[in-house]
Amino acid sequence: MLKINDALKKITVVAMDVDGVLTDGRIIVDSNGIESKNFDVQDGLGIVFLQKCGIKTAIISARKSGVVEYRAKDLMIDKIYVGVNPKLSAYENMLKEFNAQDAQVCFIGDDLTDLAVMRRCAVSVAPANAVFEVKEIADYVTVKKGGHGAVREIVELILKAQGHWGPRLYEH
C-alpha cells in the first residue's frame, strides 16, 4: 500500500468506466426501450469532493447512453467520452485536453475493454466485481463493488494521500 500511496499523491485526473464501476453493471430497459441504471450517491459525492480539490474527472465508456451523459452532466464531470472503443484513443485525447501525463492519472475499470488504459495510467483500480483479468493487473482492488461505493473508496484513498480528507472538505 505504501507504493500506491506515493502514486496517489501525484493524481490530478480520475477517469472511470461506467457500467460495473459507477453502476452495478445492470442495464434496465423497459418495454418502450427506455434505459435506466443504478448509480451510488456516495460515489457521486466522492466525485464532487475530487473536483473541490482541483482533481479533474472523466468518463470513458464503450457504450453510448443518454442516462450516462445525463448523470455525468449532473455531476459536472470534466470530460465525457461515450461510445468509444477502443478506449485508449479517448484516454490519449483526455491526456491532451487536461495537459496531463500517465503518471497523474488514476483509472477505474472492470472489464476487458479497460485493460489497455489500465496498463498506461499511474494507478489502475478494479472494483471487487471486476473480471479476473482486470483484477489481476490492477494496482488496487476495492472492497466494494461497482455501483456500491467502489469509486468513493478510491476517492477517499486519493484525498487522504494528498492531505485533503477531513472536515474542511465535507463540512464546507
Q: What is the pLDDT of residue 66?
A: 85
Give all domains of the chain, ordered by start, each with its CATH number: 2-25+35-78+99-120+130-170 (3.40.50.1000)
What are the pLDDT digits (tens) for 108-163? 999 999 999 999 999 999 999 999 999 999 999 999 999 999 999 999 999 999 99
Mean pLDDT of 16-42: 91
Asked whether residue 172 carries a pLDDT value surpassing 80, the answer given is: no
pLDDT band for position 65 (50/70/90)?
Answer: confident
First vs last C-alpha separation in the chain = 30
Per-residue cell: 30: 423497459
Asked whether residue 5 carries a pLDDT value surpassing 70, the answer given is: yes
Per-residue cell: 130: 471486476
**CB-count burial class (<10 Å; 0-12, 13-18, 19+) for 117:** buried
What are the pLDDT digits (tens) for 159-170? 999 999 999 888
Whole-model pTM? 0.95
* C-alpha to C-alpha distance for 17 and 117, rounded to whole angstroms: 10
Q: Return the percentage of the chain with pLDDT > 90, whole number.
A: 82
* C-alpha to C-alpha distance for 171 and 11, rounded to whole angstroms: 23
Q: What is the DSSP string of 127-155?
A: -TTS-HHHHHH-SEE-SSPTTTTHHHHHH
